[in-house]
Chains A and B, each alone.
Chain A
């Protein structure tokens, strides 16, 4: 069982943006979802954990590895799939994975070959192993990316928005794969798709503006909102009034009319009906504390 412990991690970019604001987290084996809107600091956190970025202050440790001060040690047990995974031109899938396997310390040629074949098969690309990766579709490339993140025996796997550009079938296959490995290692999955987290993760955190605004299990977050979320279809003209009068969590269009969810300790009446909260409500309620329309 590994433990990833992040203490008081902060990072401010030269342009003044606070990417990480005193982040504290403690994770253990299993899938960990990191939710947050664009620009929340998810990628900064991920990159910092993946040793690709410096932090201004704070510590991060994986078991006894000091990530910030001893990045080389962490890299030995790290699997990382960045948000944007590109490939070299004029190189085949097999060559690329072999090269990365070597970089990840798989020095035994026979092991390496078996591993690469196994992974290619896992991501359903074995047939295409001798094709140039550059010519792959976005989904296929992403699968190569996943394959490379699983190389070696990583203790920590970081995947940054992995399902962007995947069709539903590919997405499912991808999550199965992650779930497979996620039992024994720490998997951090950053996403802004709420469903991903609900389906996969036992633990999660929600980030906004560099801060962790929620940390716990998805279910307990939902439980917290039990009986406190109400919805109503309103007219567009009234939208602003509702926003002033209620804590609006979210609004979305249903049949051409805004459907708003509001948070309230008591039933607000006025045509609202209570709904069973879902993770999306949690997400919006956590990041939308200023009650503006989103």
Chain B
């Protein structure tokens, strides 16, 4: 009933293309994050959905209705802004009540719904305060309350947690997930923070330069990234990449890069690289590198203990590799060690267009 569909949507500002021929379908009741670096077009996408920007091309529909020509108020969407955008002269109750008043909801019904929303967000004690008397987290909850009280078909959240401190952010993340479970409405959440996207979403749409890179559940985004951009963007520290080429086929397939030579014959590939030169990027996640007496020689350049884990930077035959190991690993900078890679976790991408070559069965 409130499925959202973007069909070939584009948005250009003068000569700049913010969103480029993007198609995306969000299921009713789904929590979807739109994730990407700054300037990737994610906020523009959300603002087009809200009706604050008009798409240059394509159609946007909510439910069965094409909303391109509808004003924001007619779309049955509610939006939470990064800066909260609370009306400073109104009390908390006034802010939450405002959308109902503009929709001419009867007074006692308004009071009831404000009280209800305030109860869900634990704002009852603050109803008479002005926004400036509230902490960031409380203002955030009021902004959510103003969205919630309307019971809209779709919630749009534009980086709602980025102005909060780290601890509160973790708390509000959990609150939002709980809220979504409770009300079961479609939520579209824009963020540049992969942790928020990974922890909260049912599916993540990764954007880059206005183009959709991948739209998949968090685990797939991480384990089966659609291309080398998604692979490198998701995960901290990022995936290591070695640029080289493939030689041989089937079980004899080998990845070569300088004097690195790795057998990758056991990787099921969906795509055997028809290109004649077979230039590829090999991706290795930091947690898939381990120390192994049988492995390849490398030198430790940097040790960064964080407590529960240690980030190690190796020089592996002229390539820099970042690895994530146990917090108690006993290695010092300058040590010479032997490294092994989890062969089944290696990812191959075509160098030319970045597409993933591994097939979907890859664990």
Q: Please say whether chains A and B are actual partners in one complex.
A: no
